Chain A
């Protein structure tokens, strides 16, 4: 009896580090979820039902949410078209200075957002050669939807390129080699082998790019305060009328974004898997 008790005591002591570790894991996970969830819940439950319905019928709000979604989607589309070749080159080639190129791709993630706006404005100012060229082509950056899309591509494209690069790296090079040896050229191999095998990574990259674009504020207010995207409208209503009038816009944006991203996420999962 005594021996069993001692053995039981030792067993508890032996399992103690494991229990502490598991407890720490669960507590940390709960803390992070609460940290994200509580402000979200508080925002979502903030506005009264009447104010929320009123806001839903406000054309200015609907236009800003639509502008946010459409410009972010456009940025993700542009990232797909122009970022995929870059992702492929980085995934499939080693060359001197590759680390520098990869750092350059990541740079928009790190630099402060207003700096992005200032840099784009500086580059596209009509006084510069590039700005002059854009003006002669009738392309307006300052205060235009084009300007908003340019900002969103700038801040979102690193997320797309990195996700697509991971996807391409996950495909064994030998599949492409075999395809080439069977007579398919580089382009045919890309479209028949590489793309079908890594489109999910690319879709996830586009989702991340779009999510990043939707949340952008700092660079947009420098380049294009008008037309107003949802974050700018929220900011304006907050400064002009206070929290009560900015919250419903936030709720609409959160709900639309959540629905949209859930849909895209479910598309990006392999068959038979659920999120």
Chain B
């Protein structure tokens, strides 16, 4: 279990602002945010590599706030692997064992078993220079696990990999976590990685935590406009609420479910939940926006339409039938339909 309470770090031009996280024992937790959000700083704080201005770090009931990194029993895996270039794969994996009371013979046996599990046994005598990106990352993971840590800290473990290795390493990470049930704290800028790997997570922006919940809930019910955009709910509109009516993008909608009690906030809709078509194409209980196509952007076999509705723009996915048969193009007037339950409401902050 990791409990971070009010972590505060003041750096020139950046402040980590009272970040508190609770990570359960054996959990795979994802801390998400874009570049410069402070997520790696949180990771290095747990590892003891950054000095705190305030707050505390408790791991398995032990207050480690003032302990040096080597006494925390956490292992760090960096995005760029950070393998020791002068050591072989096996020597890298065995590096930390002597500091954790693991005897050399036992350590070697465990390290080789780990390498076998991760498909690296044949490479045990290679130097890191002669490994692929995926092999390097798996070696770094084996090295982290080989000293039996309480917590494994993963800093963007998948982002430097080619797509083919990404999927492979995702499966590896999931298997290793399920087998060892070690607590994993991963930071990532990719929500898809978090969706696949993590049970719970948190979203951080500019050093401030925006939401902490199960990954499924963060995906379904983002708490702030930033989190909404981060999880792919990219149509975020300032909205007004009065007498059972919600107004945004120059349209007023009645009969929407779960309307908040407040008078102002944000309404958000995923592009894949906004459909371009004719009124008669949509179910009768759907809600309608009218606008003009500003531009069409091709994305593989589909298109994304950027549509101006009043003083706002929104994006919607468009199928090829609309473009090729119905001649949808920039300047076309369009009707956008959405189901009321797909519209998500957020308070006026963040």
Contacts and interface: CB of A to CB of B under 8 A. Distances in A.
A184 B80 contact: no
A174 to B, nearest CB: 4
Contact of B99 (A177, A183, A193): A183
B241 interface: no
Contact of A184 (B72, B96, B143): B96
Given A182-B147, A185-B70, A177 B100 contact: no
Contacts of B74: 181
B42 to A, nearest CB: 14
B49 A182 contact: no
Interface in A146-182: 172, 174-175, 177-182
B70 A183 contact: yes
B70 A180 contact: yes
B111 interface: no
A201 to B, nearest CB: 14
B96 A177 contact: no
Contact of A182 (B48, B68, B80, B99): B99
A197 interface: yes
B44 A182 contact: no
Interface string B78-100: 10101011100000000110111
B85 A182 contact: no
Contact of B96 (A172, A175, A182): A182
A172 to B, nearest CB: 7
Nearest first, the 8 closest Cβ-Cβ pairs linking A and B are: A183-B99, A182-B96, A180-B69, A181-B76, A174-B82, A178-B82, A183-B96, A183-B70
B65 interface: no
Interface in B53-87: 68-70, 72-76, 78, 80, 82, 84-86
A185 B82 CA distance: 17
A181 B99 contact: no
A196 interface: yes
A182 B95 contact: yes
A174 B78 contact: yes
Contacts of B75: 181-182
Given A174-B80, A180-B49, 9 more contacts: A172-B82, A175-B82, A178-B82, A181-B49, A181-B74, A181-B76, A182-B99, A183-B98, A183-B100
Contacts of A192: 95
B47 interface: yes
A197 B86 contact: yes
Given A175-B84, A177-B49, A185 B68 contact: yes
Interface residues of A, number: 18
A181 B153 contact: yes
Nearest to B46: A181
Given A184-B99, A185-B70, A197-B85, A178 B147 contact: no
A177 B84 contact: no
A182 B96 CA distance: 5
Contacts of A180: 47-49, 68-70
A75 B84 CA distance: 32
Interface string B124-155: 00000000000000000001100100000100
A179 B144 CA distance: 10
A183 B85 contact: no
B306 to A, nearest CB: 40
Q: Quick one: which of B48, B96, B144 has the most chain A CB within 10 A? A: B96
A193 B153 CA distance: 21
A184 B70 contact: yes
A254 B182 CA distance: 63
Contacts of A184: 70, 95-96, 99
A177 B95 contact: no
A272 B86 CA distance: 15
24 contacts: A172-B82, A174-B80, A177-B44, A177-B47, A177-B69, A177-B82, A178-B76, A178-B78, A179-B84, A179-B95, A180-B47, A180-B48, A180-B49, A181-B48, A181-B49, A181-B153, A182-B76, A182-B95, A182-B96, A183-B96, A183-B100, A186-B68, A188-B99, A193-B84
A192 to B, nearest CB: 8
A183 B95 CA distance: 9
Contacts of A197: 85-86
Contacts of B85: 197
Interface string B295-314: 00000000000000000000
A182 B153 CA distance: 11
A192 B96 CA distance: 11
Contacts of B86: 196-197
B71 to A, nearest CB: 8
Contacts of B82: 172, 174-175, 177-178
Nearest to B49: A177
Contacts of B144: 182
A181 B145 CA distance: 12
Contacts of B78: 174, 177-178
Contacts of A175: 82, 84
Nearest to B99: A183
